[in-house]
Amino acid sequence: MAPIRTALIGLSASAKTSWASGAHLPYLLSPRGKERYQIVALLNSSVDAARAAIDTYGLGSDTKAYGSPEDLASDPDVDLVVCCTRVDVHYDTIKPSIAAGKAVFVEWPLAQDVAHARELTALAKEKGARSVIGLQGRLAPAVSKIKELIAWGRIGKVLSAEVRGYGGTNSRDIIPKGIDYFMKREVGGNIYTVGFAHLFDWVKSTVGQTAGAQGHFQLQRPENKVRDSSGNIIATARSNVPDLITVTATLDGSPTVQTGASLLARFRRGQPFPGELPLWLTINGEKGEIRLTNSAGTSLHSSADTEALKVELHDFETDKVERVEWDWSEWQKDLPVWARSIGSLFEEFAKGSEGDYPTFEDALALHEQLESLIASFSA
């Protein structure tokens, strides 16, 4: 099968540590990625900016440079558009391509709010456009291993699950200048919609969907220092985004989950107490309990080290705790850690109708749940 002709939005020549260059490009330019995908175009803020990125990353003189979403959308030689911009730019940059019926891969969140996410989802359905959303945690190997343990009945039916995370930013009261928009809820990208949402989504993927979820939110530190790239404090920013998030919910009953089982999720911005792990999940069952911990951070791609991200199982009958081994696929080990689960999304999408990946419909469901939970919060 011919490679999927792909255009990237947001690959910048001046931001070599961006998500586009750090998480998407390594897979797409790998031997395995090139068998499945071909980068044929870039869209940036201007044609000159796109050409600069083409040169910077050695994409070849035949790669097209665009400065307009409409011009990209009208290119018949583009099959898939991948959007890696800031969330409040997603809607304007991808809508023309969706309207043209192109397949679109958009980083999570899909849009800056539910209304825009709903419109994009409806348009993709109307135009028959395939969609992928960047909720890559669902495909992380450690998460897949936990799903297997539950499906195999190793802990019996799930009775409850609890997850807590500390992070979202590297400091509890300082924000880098490049992401100071995290302090503005209206932008759509912040620790609730990004840090907590990713965590909440992959946890639900292991234990099932929720019903009757309720949220409690607190803004503990409304004033935050802004730091420049040299480490200097240059300003103060006022936040309207909660930095302590607690959600309780009932899990839908299933062959592997007891009816009425509970889920408790808590996320706090900033570092944990010294010596406490930044990510801790337990899934309690009839016959045993699963524990996942990560010493490297709250995200599953915070370290490539399988020693940092541990999965353990406590068998109630034997009272023994066993280490459950998991590992990256061999092709993933050749990629930077950021790119490994993103690569899995590309892999699944390339399988066509046989692929198992989250879509705009999944994104909209998560957007709607997050919005319903925080609707009564004001700062």
List CB contacts of 333: < 8 A, sequence separation 6 or more: 304
- Mean pLDDT by runs of 10 across the 379 residues of the chain is 95 79 97 98 97 96 97 98 96 98 98 98 98 98 98 98 95 92 96 97 96 95 94 95 98 96 98 96 98 95 90 98 97 96 98 96 98 92
Residue entry with tokens 């175009």: 41
Question: Is the distance from CB of 110 to CB of 133 less than 8 angstroms?
Answer: yes
Edge-to-edge strands of the sheet including 233-238? 174-176, 223-227, 233-238
Q: Is the dihedral of CA 87, 88, 91, 96 positive or negative?
A: negative
What pLDDT does residue 17 have? 53
d(CA 112, CA 193): 9
Report phi then psi at 30, rounded to 5: -75, 160
In one-letter notation, the amino acid at residue 299 is: S
What pLDDT does residue 16 have? 47
Edge-to-edge strands of the sheet including 320-324? 210-218, 244-251, 257-269, 158-167, 279-285, 288-294, 309-315, 320-324
The end-to-end CA distance of the chain, in Å, is 53
d(CA 263, CA 355): 29
Three-point CA angle 223, 224, 230, nearest 5°: 155
d(CA 40, CA 62): 7
Which domains are delineated in the chain? 4-134 (3.40.50.720), 137-326 (3.30.360.10)
Three-point CA angle 323, 328, 330, nearest 5°: 135
d(CA 307, CA 310): 6
